[in-house]
Amino acid sequence: MTVAWDDRDTGVLRLPSGRLVRGRGLRRPLPADRPVPTYGVYLLAKPPPEVPWQARWLRWPDFRLPADRAEAHTVLTEAWHRSLTERVELACGGGRGRTGTALACLAVLDGVPPGEAVSYVRTHYDRHAVETPWQRRYVLRFGASSGPAGPEA
């Protein structure tokens, strides 16, 4: 079993279930002397740089929404499942808009009502997370596509 993130570290979000995920802006260096992810999801318009851990790229232009919403749902659901036993990192360029939106989707998967997920992430991750009205609507619709009770753990 992988050692979890330390929830006192910058960018680490504790979901209501206790799962820990890290959000990060790729324009900032990896935190020094901290564990690296075992799995990363990179939310960028262009392919991310190579990393020595397992990673997925979601094509997601800055200030926009994922290019393929079905794929995004699948990848984010996989990240949520993996966060139970792995150090999962979600990251975009700045670590706020796309990353905050993806973290809010993970919060929905974890049981946070879709209408409260953006506030949850802004309170527990970054007060500027989820930057655009369409990103907020995406989180609401993501909840609807997860079904009323969300997916099973």
Number of domains making up the chain: 1
CATH of the domain at 119: 3.90.190.10
> DSSP 3-state assignment of 24?
strand
pLDDT of residue 148: 41
In a domain, 4, yes or no: no
Question: 151 pLDDT exceeds 50?
Answer: no
Q: Is the separation of the CB atoms in 11 and 125 below 8 Å?
A: yes
pLDDT digits (tens, 9 = 90+) for 117-139: 999 999 999 999 999 999 999 99
Domain that holds residue 81: 12-27+36-145
pTM: 0.92
In a domain, 135, yes or no: yes
125 versus 152: the higher-pLDDT residue is 125
In a domain, 56, yes or no: yes
7 versus 52: the higher-pLDDT residue is 52
In a domain, 7, yes or no: no
In a domain, 152, yes or no: no
pLDDT of residue 33: 85
In a domain, 102, yes or no: yes
Distance of CA 60 to the CA centre of its chain: 13
pLDDT of residue 143: 74
Lowest mean pLDDT among 32-36, 50-54, 71-75, 81-85: 32-36
The backbone region for 37, taken as left when phi is positive above 0, alpha when psi lies in -120 to 50, beta otherwise, is beta
Edge-to-edge, what's the strand order for the sheet holding 88-92? 12-14, 20-25, 88-92, 39-44, 54-59
pLDDT digits (tens, 9 = 90+) for 63-118: 999 999 999 999 999 999 999 999 999 999 999 999 999 999 999 999 999 999 99
In a domain, 127, yes or no: yes
In a domain, 6, yes or no: no
pLDDT of residue 144: 76
